[in-house]
Amino acid sequence: MEPEGTHEPERFDPRVAEPPAVPALIPVLRPASADHDTAPQDPAAAEDARPHPAEDAHPAAVAVEPAEPLPAVVRPAAAEPDPADAAPVARPEPAAPEEQLPEQAADAPLTEPPLSEQVPTSVLAPADADGALPAPDVLPEPDVTVPDPVVPVGPPEKRGRRRGRKAREVFVENLPTQALVLADRLHSSPYGRRMRSTLQQRREAETHALEARTTLDFALKLGETMFSFGAASLDVETSIIVVTQAYGILETEVDLTNQSISLNYAPDSSRGESPYTLQRVVRSSSVNFEGLVAVHRLVEEIADGRLDRAEAQRRLVEIRHQPKPFPAVFEILFAGVFVACFIPFIGGNWTGSLLGMISTWLVFWLKIQADRARFPEIFSTMFGAIVATVIALAAFALELPVNPAVVIAGGIMMLLPTARFVTAVQDAINGFPVTAAGRFLSALLVFTGVMAGIMVAVALGDLAGLEHLDLAEAGTLQHPPLLLLALVTAAGMSDAVVEQSRWPQILACGLVSGAGYGVFLAAQQLGIGDRLVPAAAATAVGFLGRLVAQRIAAPALVIVLPSMLFLLPGLMMFRSVYGFTVETGSTLLGLAGLFNAAVIVVAIAAGVAFGNTLAKPITDRMGTLLPTELVMHQRG
């Protein structure tokens, strides 16, 4: 055994087993019943003379006894001395001779202390050598019983005793740090009534300002959704005006560009509100005509006054999170079907139609992958043009009976931003010059990508040693008008699937496309000119498109845009681009062809806008084919 105090105890760690405790020598006081100064040194005699188990609770305990007996006042006379007390107590030798316990003074009388329970294991009262204390036989009962706050204390209350008793009133005092309304101090003053009226007016003004901000935020989000779904600027402006006026925000001005919406709120200065401007930037777009139809029907219900603002906000959130009706693979397949129907219309044969469909599948798939990889649109369009031109070169090298110009024109038909040109012209006509300029610029960049792709593919063919091709050669085949009518109808319906429309809109696009082709044939028979024939057909498409769209509760753009694509001069644009970029001796002819194509595009856009205007007096007196409630929940 090591002597006490030779080492410092380590810091307690619950993960490490506690070492055996080192016993310490603690004096135990007990009454002395006999006069003896020293204890016997024989261990066996000391063991036999141990007085009582309670006094030897610890193996290291040492009995310290007084030299003289206690006085009669301290020691009771009736107490019989215990014979065992006279026996000497064994004193264990210390581990080190240099540390000895001090001896008690001979003349120090001791009083008998009360017996106490064993002290738990600690550094002050260590346990046995194995580190454990013997468990007590009987647990002591507590002196004071603390009642459980959950369990009621006292005798149970009789039933019905609380019946009829009044509720106890509890006084709640306001916290001293709570904000005080100073206007309450004017309650008994002559200004109290006037001040209450002023405060009420101010609260109404604050509530109106909050309502105005919430309504403007909703209008901005709705306009952003329409822009991202591919809506025209005029439709976005009219929808925002409907929302703000229907919900009581009258002092609002709308300003649109090709990618941003600004709302200027200028309230009456007499209400004490400050004017401000809110702006939302449209940073991404994905054509979704089904979502555009849903937003259009939502605005119709707001205009009829059948929706409050909270319900309209909830519906808009549902529209924004609603998936597209067709997956991406359907877009690729029906884009190829559109090209297969379009190539015979521009003079190609069936072999070229099949090759153009396969080329479009590859081109469209590559464009989708490039868009997912966040490539800019100019580069994704360039990759598609390279693939379409390389396929045409490979078909010519294999001596297939196809016209390479027609195959390339069909392969890049879905890449040409001719529809963007049309909407840009419509924006310029409807009074949105900034939006029109932005869309013209973006369409010009896409045309640049098409020209770059054709140039790169032709250069690769020259490096491979292929014979120079006359890609600008035009097709000369003629097909029956009824066959072309069926092909144009199928092409319009296929492009409606690519634009993510549902079956009611798809069938409407097929109907309007067929009617537009009938007007196209009639204008050709009249001989009004190559530039006016597309404009006349576009006027019919715009007129019929608005009538049909009104009947099925859809915006006119959803029906008009897929129905007029067969009128676009895709082959003329390709020949002009090729002559301007590849054939160095045909630069002027290429510029002239680009100018003619631009004139035709402007004539088509103007014809659509004119037909839309002609149909407006009729649609103002028309209703929808189905109730708006049924149309809104229709899912094709």
Q: What angle do CA 479, 481, 482 make, to 5 degrees?
A: 110
User: 27-61 burial, b if ≥16 CB within 10 A, otherwise e?
Assistant: ebebbbbeeeeebbeeeeebeebebeeebebbeeb
What is the tens place of the pLDDT at every residue in 106-138?
444 444 444 444 544 444 444 444 444 455 555
- pLDDT for position 125: 44
Identity of residue 173: E
Alpha helices (H) in 186-262, listed in sequence order: 192-229, 233-246
Identity of residue 117: E
Nearby residues of 250 by Cβ (< 8 Å), 6 or more positions away:
244
Strands 252-256 and 27-29: unpaired
Strands 276-281 and 252-256: unpaired
Mind giving me the DSSP string for 527-541? T--TTHHHHHHHHHH
Nearby residues of 159 by Cβ (< 8 Å), 6 or more positions away:
none
Give the Å distances, CA to CA, from 365 to 335, 446, 493. 10, 17, 20
Give the separation between CA 476 and CA 349, rounded to whole angstroms. 10
Residue segments in the chain with a per-residue pLDDT below the cut of 70: 1-189, 191-196, 198-209, 270-272, 468-476, 581-585, 623-636
| Cβ(615)–Cβ(542) below 8 Å | yes
Q: Which residues pair with 63 in a beta bridge?
A: 28
- pLDDT for position 597: 83
Structure-token pair, residue 220: 């901005």
Nearby residues of 215 by Cβ (< 8 Å), 6 or more positions away:
243, 244, 247, 248, 249, 309
Packing angle between helix 532-551 and helix 587-619, nearest 10 degrees? 30
Edge-to-edge strand list for the sheet holding 276-281: 252-256, 260-265, 276-281
Mind giving me the DSSP string for 373-386? TT--HHHHHHHHHH
- Reference 604, options 554, 567, 574, 557; nearest CA is 567
3-state secondary structure of 64: strand
Give the separation between CA 403 and CA 442, rounded to whole angstroms. 30
Q: What angle do CA 75, 76, 77 make, to 5 degrees?
A: 115
- Reference 265, options 227, 215, 313; nearest CA is 215
- pLDDT for position 297: 93
- pLDDT for position 233: 87
- Reference 331, options 408, 228, 414, 229; nearest CA is 414
